[in-house]
Amino acid sequence: MEALLETRTAADAAINHELTSEKKIHFLRQMLRIRRFEQTALKQYQTSGQIGGFLHLYSGQESVAVGTLSLCGEDDHVVAGYRMHGHALAVGMSMNECMAELFGRATGCSKGKGGSMHFFAPDKNFWGGHGIVGGQTPLGLGLAFGLKYKGLKGCCLCYLGDGAVNQGAYHESLNLAALWDLPVIYIIENNQYSMGTSQDRSSAFQKCLAARAEAYDIAWDHVSGEDLYEVRAKTWQAMQRAHAESHPTVLEIATYRYYGHSVSDANAKKYRSPEEIEKYRTLHDPIQLWQQRLMDEGILTAAQATELDNAAAAEAEEAVRFAKESPLPNPADIFTDVYSEVDRQTPAGRTGKFFFND
């Protein structure tokens, strides 16, 4: 088992020590962009009537995506569940393409075909965006397998929720990760609830959810999501283990979601008290805490923070405008992107009947 890093030393860990003020402010900017993007998307969901289906908001969890993904290099890859707008923006996807996807537009990251749960950007090493709980966990394994196979010194960060840890696919993946020494890092974003079910009502465990890794002889650690320095320091340890030794790790990051499970969570304030939500919003908000920290370090002024926030809000509004002005896919587009060979009209794509519309 991994020795637990002391929180107070997290800021001094080499990976944080070397950060420039600019970088630190950039992390704040990214978290604010995620928060503003989602607040804007929520408002549009409720007022425009142009966004359908689910909308799983990440507000409260921003430090996890921003902290962990800030460490990724060229050969590090990412795969996540459906609550991943934060990850998408953190890997560098634009607000425009993400907002347009929510609006079902042809300019969306998936051309309006995937929706809120299914964002993808392979050019940024971002492999989705997966709607089936736990379905991404074997994919993380496979991405890590591919990296190792090609001899690349990278790893795969695979995100899942505290409810997803009870899917069989995840357990099967842990076994293979350990057995074949694959450079995958499972990051459990423990926001304490899977829909309306608290962690205690869904999981049997000792110590914490990540500790289940012990049974597979996989290193694990527990991380406070409130502290971006700690998120980075501990994730970096896991990434070094993956890069240098090709060993997997399970990280559990304690965090909280402010909104309901999806926009239509009728019981959002029943399975947990409004006081609990308020407590996290006011005392444990990762953005406020980071902002305060940077002010304490003397590298950020309140005016600068406001400026960053305003810029994020303006960018989100602009993304809405972009989305609304973008065209819808054509009805004929329903049949593209199903088969690569057909799209490219290769001999293989021209042989035999592929579609059965009468």
Partner 1 sequence: MPVITYRKALNDALAEELTRDENVVILGEEVAQYNGAYKVTEGLWKRFGDKRVWDTPISEAAFVGLGVGASMMGLRPVVELMFWSFAFVAYDQVVNNAGCIRYMSGGLINLPLVIRGPANGGTNVGATHSHTPESILAHNPGIKVVCPATAYDAKGLMKTAIRDNDPVFVMENTLLYGETWEVPEEEYLIPLGVADVKREGADISLIAHGRATITSLKAAELLAQEHNIHAEVLDLRSIRPLDEDAILRSVRKTHRAVLVDENKPFCAVSAQIATIIQQKAFDDLDAPVLRVCSLDAPAIYSPRLEKLQLPTPERIVEKVLSIA
Ligand X SMILES: Cc1ncc(C[n+]2csc(CCOP(=O)(O)OP(=O)(O)O)c2C)c(N)n1
Query: Would you tell me which residues interact with Mg ion (CB under 5 A)?
Result: 161-162, 191, 194
The minimum distance between CB 93 and partner 1, in angstroms, equals: 16
Q: Return the residue of 1, 215, 338, 348 that touches partner 1, per CB under 8 A.
A: 338
The minimum distance between CB 75 and partner 1, in angstroms, equals: 28
Comparison of 301 and 335: residue with beta carbon closer to partner 1: 335
Comparison of 188 and 312: residue with beta carbon closer to ligand X: 188
- Do 191 and 60 form a contact (C-beta atoms < 8 A)? yes
Point out which residues bind ligand X (CB under 6 A): 83, 131-133, 161-164, 191, 193-195, 261
CA separation for the pair 286, 108 (Å, rounded): 29
Contact string 125-164 vs partner 1 (x = CB under 8 A): -----xxxxxx---------------------------xx
Kindly identify the residues of this chain, within the stretch 190-219, that bind partner 1 according to CB under 8 A.
194-197, 201-203
Q: Taking contact as CB under 8 A, which single stretch among the options 145-153, 242-250, 252-260, 332-340 is the one that binds partner 1?
A: 332-340
The minimum distance between CB 282 and ligand X, in angstroms, equals: 21
- Residue 167 identity: Q
CA dist 322 to 14, 29, 248, 316, Å? Answer: 41, 21, 41, 10
Rule CB under 8 A: say whether 358 interacts with partner 1.
yes
Q: Which does 110 bind (CB under 5 to 8 A by kind): partner 1, Mg ion, ligand X, none?
A: partner 1
Report residue 321 CA to chain centroid gap.
25
Comparison of 102 and 219: residue with beta carbon closer to partner 1: 102
CA separation for the pair 216, 293 (Å, rounded): 38
Who's near 99: CB < 8 A, 6+ residues apart? Answer: 37, 40, 41, 44, 316, 319, 320, 322, 323
* Helices (H), ranges, the chain: 7-10, 14-17, 21-47, 62-69, 85-90, 95-102, 136-149, 168-179, 199-202, 228-245, 274-283, 286-296, 302-325, 340-343, 347-350
CA separation for the pair 122, 78 (Å, rounded): 9
Task: List contacts with partner 1 (CB under 8 A).
Answer: 50-54, 101, 104-105, 110, 112-118, 130-135, 163-164, 166-169, 194-197, 201-203, 266-267, 271, 328-329, 331, 333-335, 338, 355-358
